[in-house]
Amino acid sequence: MKIPKEWWLEIGDLQIMPMPRHRPVPRRPPWIIILVSLVCVLLIGAYIYPPGQLEACYFFSSSTCSSFRKWLPPSFVKVFTDDEIAARVVVRDILTMPSIQSKNPKIAFMFLTPGSLPFEKLWEKFFLGHEERFSIYVHASMEKPKHVSPLFMDRDIHSKQVVWGKISMVDAEKRLLANALQDADNQHFILLSESCVPLHNFDYVYNYLMDTNVSFIDCFEDPGPHGTGRYLDNMLPEIEKKDWRKGAQWFSMKRQHALLVLADSLYYLKFKNFCKPGMERRNCYSDEHYLPTLFHMIDPSGIANWSVTYVDWSERKWHPKSYRAHDVTFELLRNITSIDVSVHVTSGDKEMVLQRPCLWNGEKRPCYLFARKFNLETLENMMQYLSNYTI
Ligand SMILES: *[C@@H]1O[C@H](CO)[C@@H](O)[C@H](O)[C@H]1NC(C)=O
Ligand SMILES: *[C@@H]1O[C@H](CO)[C@@H](O)[C@H](O)[C@H]1NC(C)=O
Ligand SMILES: *[C@@H]1O[C@H](CO)[C@@H](O)[C@H](O)[C@H]1NC(C)=O
């Protein structure tokens, strides 16, 4: 549908200068001009946005639109809702904003725990000597923690109850992020549990996170029953089945991404309203699907797709391996710290093992900075390990 150029210009003139001085004043009544202009706008609209693209659907009747849809690939017919358009501009602008240049960039260590932290002494050892480069936040969801290290005193934030798998878990993560974002020096935000231990010294962790532009958010596509099988049609139109992702909740993210998590209500509300673990046909888990799906949709190249917190699922039980004192040997820790391939296993009968090298700024590096789940009884071994291990 090509509009001849001359005709276009003529009509354009008519629109812009209805009464040009060097021509006689046209005798045509104004409604003709309005009508011709309208037709012109419609034609230009149809020309600029060929049928099938979203905007064309505002110009054509819905039946015309659905007949276009039949023969167009599905990706061409995505019509954004008002909320999506709003969400997309917010996301785009936050992602392209220059980051706040802090003279004293810090990492926020955010502990999500039911109560007291069994490894406070270990963390204290990890932090000592680096006071200007970290801040600590503790969200204790069940009971007020008894702190043994001065570094952890008065670092509890206002907390609420957390139920595993439910939206309250995401709410606690957002509460931690909001508190940590108050400090403009915080540039990177790590979520840790009470059973997490550091695998390297502070400098190594600091440089690993600060010298790259990505967030370490675990994210993969699991076509099985515990992945895509948990997708709900209620997520439409904003979240399509092909965008559904899964991953462990223990993230570490840069400041822009932390802001995005707080700015998002569109996708968050989908999970809050429709993911109800335990209810039939509502059985999805916000803590495993919300952040991976969100970041897969809004900034896929900005995330590393693995978590820097190691966990051992190799026993294939409902819970990952929980390390006891006798498990924690130099050999075990050397094994964990030398892993440089991230592994994801899909669920169901057609189990697939997805392996990807851990690429840090394009080069292969060990994947993990922290590990879980460690029992309190491993504290002594870990203290020894951390003093002997220098990187
Ligand atoms: C991160 O991105 C900024 C802006 O694009 C760039 O100047 C900087 O060099 C990047 N840093 C790394 C470590 O890639
Ligand atoms: C993470 O995976 C997405 C695809 O889901 C890909 O586009 C992106 O490049 C990956 N990130 C990195 C850092 O490789
Ligand atoms: C460490 O890795 C080696 C080689 O994969 C394996 O044989 C050994 O059992 C591992 N040791 C521990 C303690 O996990």
**Residue bearing the CA closest to ligand 2, atom 13:** 304
What pLDDT sits at residue 236?
86
- Give the pLDDT band of residue 79 (cuts 50, 70, 90): confident
What pLDDT sits at residue 72?
55
User: By 3-state DSSP, what share of the chain in percent is helix, strand and coil, each rounded to 5?
Assistant: 45, 15, 40
**Residue bearing the CA closest to ligand 3, atom 12:** 332
Summary mean pLDDT of the chain: 84
Residue 55 has pLDDT above 60, yes or no: no
Residue 334 token pair: 């050397």
Residue 39 has pLDDT above 80, yes or no: no
Residue 224 has pLDDT above 80, yes or no: yes
- What CA–CA distance (Å, rounded) separates 88 from 296? 14
Q: pLDDT digit string (tens) for 21-36?
A: 444 445 556 666 666 6
Domain boundaries, the chain: 31-79, 86-308
Residue 4 has pLDDT above 70, yes or no: no
* pLDDT higher at 69 or 123: 123
Residue 268 has pLDDT above 60, yes or no: yes
Q: pLDDT digit string (tens) for 338-386?
A: 999 999 999 988 889 999 999 999 999 999 999 999 999 999 999 998 8
Q: Which atom of ligand 1 is nearest to the CA of 98?
A: 4
Cα 162 to middle of ligand 1, angstroms? 36
What pLDDT sits at residue 42?
54
**Residue bearing the CA closest to ligand 2, atom 14:** 304
Q: Does the C-beta of 212 come closer than 6 Å to ligand 1?
A: yes
From 77, 80, 55, select the one nearest 68 (Cα to Cα).
Answer: 77
Pick the CATH number of 86-308 from 1.20.58, 3.90.550, 3.30.300, 3.40.50: 3.90.550
- Give the pLDDT band of residue 309 (cuts 50, 70, 90): very high
Residue 94 has pLDDT above 90, yes or no: yes
Cα 304 to middle of ligand 2, angstroms? 6
- Give the pLDDT band of residue 70 (cuts 50, 70, 90): low
Give 156's strand partners. 138
Of 53-62, 75-84, 216-225, least confident by mean pLDDT is 53-62
pTM for this predicted structure? 0.80
- Give the pLDDT band of residue 20 (cuts 50, 70, 90): very low
From 254, 227, 225, 248, select the one nearest 307 (Cα to Cα).
Answer: 248
* 8 A C-beta contact, residue 105 and residue 210: yes
Q: Does the C-beta of 211 come closer than 6 Å to ligand 1?
A: yes
Residue 254 has pLDDT above 80, yes or no: yes
Q: Which atom of ligand 1 is nearest to the CA of 212?
A: 13
Compute the average pLDDT of residues 277-292.
85
**Residue bearing the CA closest to ligand 3, atom 4:** 335
What pLDDT sits at residue 34?
63
Instruction: Tell me the best of 95, 187, 211, 213 to mutate to test the pocket of ligand 1, counting ligand atoms within 8 Å of each CB and taking the most.
Output: 213
Residue 160 has pLDDT above 90, yes or no: yes
* 8 A C-beta contact, residue 4 and residue 43: no
Q: Which atom of ligand 1 is nearest to the CA of 213?
A: 1
- The terminus-to-terminus CA distance of the chain in angstroms comes to 66
Q: Is 81 exposed, middle or buried (0-12, 13-18, 19+ CB in 10 A)?
A: exposed
Residue 164 has pLDDT above 90, yes or no: no
Q: Which ligand is nearest to the CA of 99?
A: 1
Query: Within 6 Å (CB) of ligand 2, which residues are found?
Result: 214, 296, 300-301, 303-305
Q: Does the C-beta of 302 come closer than 6 Å to ligand 1?
A: no
Residue 7 has pLDDT above 80, yes or no: no
